Amino acid sequence: MTRREQHFERFGRVIRWSPLVVAVILSALWIAGAPPTVPDVRFSAPVVARPGSTIGLRAWQLAEDSDGYTVIDSPPVEVELRKASGLVAASTTLVESKVEGREGHLGVPGGPDEVVSLVAIARVDGQTVTVERTLYVQTGIESKLRRGRSVNAFQAYELGPIRGSRRDGAPLTLDPRIEEGACVPGLRCWLSVWVGERELGVRVRPLAGVEVEKGTAPAVHQFARFPLVVTGQEGRVSVEAIGAGGETLGSREVRLPLVPGGIVARASVRDGRATLDWAELGDARPVLVDVFSGSRWTRALSLEPGDRALPPLGPGVWRLQARRDLSSDNTAGVAYTVLGAAEGSSILERGARAVLDDAARAGLDPLGAAIVDGKLPSASTEPALRALFAVPSFDVVSVGAGMSSRIGIDEAHEVAQAHRRWTAAAVILLIGLVVSIALLRVEVVAQARARAILDRLGDEPAEPPRAPPGRGLWALVLLVFALIAVLALSKGWF
């Protein structure tokens, strides 16, 4: 075999083996792109806390069943509070929820302001999985939890102007509120109307999408109450003040706050302990309950329909949010309860000051201001508390979807996989260049041999080609390899 034939044989091997080498590179890249086999454990906890307080905790695992559907598992989870030195200052074991995941609370030790770590340690199929997040412990720090509820403009609470006045010319008070904070279409809710200092009658007329069980009611201790059922996606009523002779003194339209498909919640106090009652469409089911002091998440628990008493919470103004599952923040039912009067004040005044201290509502609640100024009789404590917390009960405090154990792992894997994709693309493009050069060399040599044979046979030499020989084939091969290199850079495939 001549030296030129040996060159042809080597070129042939390069061309024959190049598709197999590219296939091996792509297969290895695809296998390396598989996500790491680390369980997806989620951990939800506050970002900030005060020294000596408690914080609510929830943990759960996102997994897949045999059919590929996402399910929520509840592996054993222990939570540790670690200082900057790594010393464990407090720990707790979360209990299994009656609904989903694990839940509990952890006491934050008192002391100077500092930055600590919360570490959730889960055991899944014999594997230890950890999720770590930062907790800022400061005396005066404000909560960072998001507040709000997603509804359209026709489902938000809106009061119209008061039309009319008393005969003596004094301003008329007519303040209607939904006691549960929001109505749910198909469920009963209560409209509480504060009429101010004088005892008046109140009449409610439905305007759109509302059924009123009783149209007229007297104001007892300055409050009148009406059971309503919203039947549509918008509810509007007209509230009228009725004088002693039955004449209409004034009226006011109100758009009722609505949460389609939500939960209606109401809190009460029995024997010094808070009790949460809730209603929802369909059969009664257990609910997740998150306890807040203001907007600070302090406890996480769950309740059965037959056992609605909460554990002892201690004195304070407590916000209770009941939801069906871990992803139902927007449809949660909200209720408030006040336990224990502050020194030198009543339970009603303590609740009023909590409402007025809210930065978003400071000085904007006439009922709260009237309570602090002592303009309500002591007999109106219960109806006043129901009306006082009606408006802030519309919003929910979101505890978030939780931090995943896969966040850092997935990010590191994606960085490494991106490096592999670029390396594979470079190698494939290099192989394409080698193959293209080999094809070009083969065609140049073949044309030279053909020309030499023709010369020996005595034929006239052909005209020299105007373009480089083999231009089309080697360029086509190079284009194919370039397309494969671009494919290797695709995140959707690799």
Decide if pLDDT at 450 tops 80.
no
- In the structure, what pLDDT confidence band is assigned to residue 13 with cuts at 50, 70 and 90? confident
Rounded CA gap, 138 and 114, in Å?
7
Span of 210-219, 292-301, 469-478 with lowest mean pLDDT: 469-478
CB atoms within 10 A of CB 185: 21
Q: Is 467 exposed, middle or buried (0-12, 13-18, 19+ CB in 10 A)?
A: exposed
**Residue 24: its H or E element:** helix 3-32
- In the structure, what pLDDT confidence band is assigned to residue 64 with cuts at 50, 70 and 90? confident
Q: Pairing state of beta strands 147-148 and 127-137? A: unpaired
Residue pLDDT, tens place only, 188-227 = 999 999 998 777 899 999 999 999 988 899 998 899 999 9
User: Alpha carbon 259 to chain centroid distance?
Assistant: 17
- In the structure, what pLDDT confidence band is assigned to residue 471 with cuts at 50, 70 and 90? low
Residue 454: both structure tokens together: 């023709």
Higher pLDDT, 42 or 448: 42
pLDDT recorded at residue 344: 60
Rounded CA gap, 114 and 116, in Å?
6
Which residue from 334, 330, 251 is spatially nearest to 292, judged by alpha carbons?
334
Coil/strand/helix, residue 327: coil
Rounded CA gap, 251 and 241, in Å?
6
Q: Is 379 exposed, middle or buried (0-12, 13-18, 19+ CB in 10 A)?
A: exposed
Cβ neighbors of 132 (< 8 A, separation 6 or more) are 117, 118, 119, 120
CB atoms within 10 A of CB 361: 13
Decide if pLDDT at 102 tops 50.
yes
Averaged pLDDT, 250-279: 92
pLDDT recorded at residue 463: 57
Domains of the chain, CATH where assigned: 3-34+409-488 (no CATH), 46-143 (2.60.40.1930), 158-397 (2.60.40.350)
pLDDT recorded at residue 470: 47
Quote the crossing angle between the two packed helices 3-32 and 471-488, to the nearest 10°.
Answer: 20
pTM of the model: 0.78
pLDDT recorded at residue 2: 61
Decide if pLDDT at 415 tops 80.
yes
Contact 275, 301 (CB under 8 A): no
- State the chain's mean pLDDT as an integer: 86
Contact 461, 447 (CB under 8 A): no
Decide if pLDDT at 76 tops 90.
yes
Contact 358, 392 (CB under 8 A): yes
Residue pLDDT, tens place only, 352-371 = 888 887 655 555 688 888 88
Decide if pLDDT at 116 tops 90.
yes
Higher pLDDT, 273 or 11: 273
Which residue from 342, 356, 339 is spatially nearest to 267, judged by alpha carbons?
339
